Structure 1
Amino acid sequence: MKLTRRTVLGRALALGFAVCSMAGSSAAFAAKPLVMGFSQVGAESEWRTANTASIKDAAKKDGVTLKFADAQQKQENQVKAIRSFIAQKVDVIAFSPVVESGWDTVLQEAKAAKIPVILTDRAVNVTDKSLYVTFIGSDFVEEGHRAGRWLLERAKKTPDATLNIVELQGTVGSAPAIDRKAGFEQEIASNPKLKIIRSQTGDFTRAKGKEVMEAFLKAEGKKINVLYAHNDDMAIGAIQAIEEAGLKPGTDIIVVSIDGVKGAFEAMIAGKLNVTVECSPLLGPQLMQIARDVVAGKPVPKRITTEEGVFPAEVAAKEFPNRKY
């Protein structure tokens, strides 16, 4: 077939339009925002509030469409939220589990729907580790060890004295409560003069921490030498109870806690708290990057640990201006 110059030109233009049209479609597809379903534990503490803010801010800055659900510290609410995310066919699911166990069924549903799952802050206990892609968060056992090591060093100032410890645990069955207790107990086991005489959950809240500390004081009184709290909010609540009992927190009772929130630094500056072990809630930017890598099919580590420090009261005033939460 003989082609005229006009025919060739026309076909070239048509091909050009087709290519441009395909490129436009590809660009539109590429511009489609990543959709993340995120189930948060709740809003039980300063730490959790900062964690939520970090995730929401990072999603906004990164152009991620975030479907956020507050579980109000109930596992059944998180299960419902995850199933809702599956039904909505989100690109990725992330959540901070209320407790460690009881996730196998709903995570199998997410896997069947081919939706990757990222754990943040807290781990889960499942038989099939492929039910989640990665876990981003702190090493809670190490946090317990750090709290214990600080107390061992403090105990060297009075080597002949027995230090009776009361412990405010986090939410029963939660990863930080289990691990922070284990790490602390493992560490202080080297000194038989450090003894935990009372241990009870304060559910990570300030109000419950105060309530349980009041009960500890009523039962043990001046026998208590040390308070070990699994988070700063419970410690701050307990400090109120100690003061109302006519004692001086930080002096009459050594106060050791975990998280590193601004409220803890204020308490240290006031001489009411002796040390806080850092547990950073600012996981948002890291979560968004990992989510994009996961959805793109890039390999990611199974465990991503955040780097954190220990802040005794002596450095509180200097460090306080640097705190972001």
Structure 2
Amino acid sequence: MNKILKLAIAVAGSVIVGLGSAQADPKGKKVAFLITSPTNPFIAELTKNFVAKANSFGMEVTTFNTPFDVALQSQQVDDAIARKFDMIAIIAAAEGAIVPAMTRARDAKMPVIMVNTPPRAGTADLYLTFVGEDHTELGRIAGQGVVQALKENGRDSGRVALITGSLQEGVGPRRVVGFKEALKALPKVQIVATEDAKWDTAASERIAGQLYARFAPTGGLDVLYGMADNQTVAAIKAAEAANIPLGTKKGELIVVGSNCLRQGIEMIKAGKQYSTSVQIPARTGERSAELAADYFNGKTVPKEVILPVELVTKANVEKWEKPCSF
């Protein structure tokens, strides 16, 4: 009787182990990837690389997009839960508004990976991991570029305008905080305008034109910070249309950006943009997919993966020209 019982336990145990091993495999797992704007070059490149890398592990990815419509994104989370996806990866349209939907995902035992947009403080129990850069540091780097550009030409003051990404998203506000911190090195530098263009190129060009016209009667702007390089290129285009000289000398407009898009790299090489900073969507997308595979393989996943950043100017642009070629 004891032998039979032991045999039964051994068989049951082997079945349990076998089931565990079968489940610890990313192949065939279905991932819902919720993104913001698919027309934004950064998001488009990140999405492409996430999908490709996930597919290489055998995962199936369904992409849902929303033009920063928080209600729609919340509904998409509920959709993913109802359709019994194995995981949700999400670039949140708004760090605060997504919390109730993430709570529902947790209650449904649906693992969530936060991508690029940092999670709100105090929500660590709602997600598996966050993958992305320190956006406060990215803002600080952009501000350091401004300070550096001004100091190179013996300037210690200036009027600065910001054209930002979405300020409800979580990324934008953090970059503004970091940018302001860096500018404290030059107390006479003033931020005179902050305009939310939601990362959009056309809106950024329109806003830049309006800013140039607004400040022209009082001597113009000294610095324009475009939060992403598609925005800085738009601002440069508007400056050229308004016959505003670009550069770092007194009387010239200093333009700094971020995200190291190909256009920004080209503008730095041409001397029209002073700096950008390293934020490469391919690595964010690929790393996020790798962590999803690690989770399905039964590995321990770190709570956050913060990707390294660096200021890019003409001095080191060649180093980043290829990685920033999207």
Fold in common (TM above 0.5): yes
How many positions carry a matched residue from both structures? 305
CA distance in 2, matches of 1:143, 1:303: 17
TM-score after normalising by structure 1: 0.86
Instruction: Say whether 1:231 aligns with 2:231.
Output: no
Q: CA deviation at 1:274?
A: 1.0
Q: For residue 270 of structure 1, what is the aligned residue in structure 2?
A: 270
Residue 103 of structure 2 aligns to a residue in which SS? helix
Amino acid at match of 1:181: V
Say whether the 8 Å CA contact 1:276–1:311 is kept in structure 2: yes
The one of 167, 170, 176 equivalent to 1:172 is: 167
TM-score after normalising by structure 2: 0.86
CA distance in 1, matches of 2:134, 2:17: 46
Say whether the 8 Å CA contact 2:144–2:183 is kept in structure 1: yes
Alignment of 1:5-44 (within 5 A): 32-44=27-39
Q: CA deviation at 1:243?
A: 0.4
CA distance in 1, matches of 2:24, 2:277: 42
Say whether the 8 Å CA contact 1:146–1:277 is kept in structure 2: yes
Query: Are residues 114 and 153 of structure 1, via their aligned partners in 2, closer, same or farther at CA, if it must alter by over 3 Å?
Result: same
Query: Are residues 27 and 176 of structure 1, via their aligned partners in 2, closer, same or farther at CA, if it must alter by over 3 Å?
Result: closer
Unpaired segments ≥5 residues, structure 1: 1-20
Alignment of 1:98-109 (within 5 A): 98-109=93-104
Q: For residue 288 of structure 1, what is the aligned residue in structure 2?
A: 289
Deviates more, 1:286-295 or 1:265-274: 286-295
Q: For residue 218 of structure 1, what is the aligned residue in structure 2?
A: 213
CA distance in 2, matches of 1:68, 1:189: 42
CA offsets 1:228-248 (integer angstroms, 9 cap, x no match): 111111111111110000112
CA distance in 1, matches of 2:34, 2:111: 14
Query: Are residues 245 and 133 of structure 1, via their aligned partners in 2, closer, same or farther at CA, if it must alter by over 3 Å?
Result: same
Say whether the 8 Å CA contact 1:92–1:115 is kept in structure 2: yes
CA offsets 1:184-227 (integer angstroms, 9 cap, x no match): 10111131121111111121111111111111111102421111
Structure scoring higher RCO (CA < 8 A, sep ≥ 6) equals 2
Q: CA deviation at 1:264?
A: 0.7
Rg larger in 1 or in 2? 1
Q: For residue 179 of structure 2, what is the aligned residue in structure 1?
A: 184
Say whether the 8 Å CA contact 2:280–2:324 is kept in structure 1: no
Amino acid at match of 2:258: I
Query: Are residues 249 and 30 of structure 1, via their aligned partners in 2, closer, same or farther at CA, if it must alter by over 3 Å?
Result: same
Amino acid at match of 1:174: E
CA distance in 2, matches of 1:228, 1:81: 33
Alignment of 1:1-325 (within 5 A): 32-125=27-120, 127-221=122-216, 222-251=219-248, 252-282=252-282, 283-317=284-318, 319-325=320-326
Deviates more, 1:314-323 or 1:110-119: 314-323
Q: CA deviation at 1:155?
A: 2.2
Moved beyond 6 Å, runs of 4+: 21-31
CA distance in 1, matches of 2:16, 2:212: 73
Q: For residue 6 of structure 1, what is the aligned residue in structure 2?
A: none
Q: CA deviation at 1:93?
A: 0.8
CA distance in 1, matches of 2:229, 2:184: 23
Q: For residue 17 of structure 1, what is the aligned residue in structure 2?
A: none
